[in-house]
A and B are shown apart, each in its own frame.
Chain A
Amino acid sequence: DAGITQSPRHKVTETGTPVTLRCHQTENHRYMYWYRQDPGHGLRLIHYSYGVKDTDKGEVSDGYSVSRSKTEDFLLTLESATSSQTSVYFCVTGGNTEAFFGQGTRLTVV
């Protein structure tokens, strides 16, 4: 939707390993967000960005870091994956007008 691509779409990783998820957009949207979705918790904000090198924490940021070196890319890194980070991760872009979702990344930490 709206030229947003998340990669990978699915990943299984082991506890303790670092993992990086990528969100790429072709719409030149200024605002980008990472959310996780878990049963019973809805969509929870992890980190967000207002522009290149301009990021801030959301409500569930512990154990995650982000980087935005280019307008089109927003990377989410799990520094040392834990089982509690098993989730579906969504990238969202926009914010000034409409928000658009990526397809989601299903991450399983075993």
Chain B
Amino acid sequence: GIQVEQSPPDLILQEGANSTLRCNFSDSVNNLQWFHQNPWGQLINLFYIPSGTKQNGRLSATTVATERYSLLYISSSQTTDSGVYFCAVTGGYQKVTFGTGTKLQVIP
């Protein structure tokens, strides 16, 4: 099956700093999404981005499908950005595979 790797595994930021999270995948995919799991365990869709670039407020994402990676940018980080960020890819047979996540802690 498709392998999905995320980096870094852990990240600590001072409030106001910027960061880039990376998702590498091992094969061509049909879809790619970024999710945020907040400290209460709820998983929220951030981006559906099989290719190209999207922006939503302080967050943006870019997927380069031909090179099999996606990047999630967080600018001017806030404490509410803390949690775990997952990327998920959908490959053949529509099976969804998740990365292991990046745990982000934003400190005031």
Name B88's contact: one of A31, A88, A99 (CB within 8 Å).
A99
**Nearest-Cβ distance from residue B71 to partner chain A, whole angstroms:** 19
Q: Are B31 and A33 in contact (CB under 8 A)?
A: no
Assembly CA distance A91 to B101 (angstroms): 18
Q: A-B pairs with CB below 8 Å: how many?
A: 52
Interface of chain B, helix or strand or loop or mixed? strand
Q: Are A95 and B99 in contact (CB under 8 A)?
A: no
Q: Report how many residues on chain A are interfacial, defined by Cβ distance under 8 Å.
A: 22
Assembly CA distance A45 to B41 (angstroms): 17
Say if the beta carbon of B56 comes within 8 Å of chain A: no
Stretch at the interface among A61-69, A75-83, A100-108: A100-108
Query: Which residues of B sit under 8 angstroms from A103, Cβ to Cβ?
Result: 42
Assembly CA distance A108 to B94 (angstroms): 31
**Nearest-Cβ distance from residue B72 to partner chain A, whole angstroms:** 16
Name A99's contact: one of B44, B90, B100 (CB within 8 Å).
B90
Q: Looking at chain B, what size class is its interface with the partner chain?
A: 20 to 34
Which residue of B has the minimal Cβ distance to A95? B94
Q: Are A97 and B98 in contact (CB under 8 A)?
A: no
Assembly CA distance A92 to B43 (angstroms): 10
Q: Are B98 and A88 in contact (CB under 8 A)?
A: no
Assembly CA distance A79 to B33 (angstroms): 33
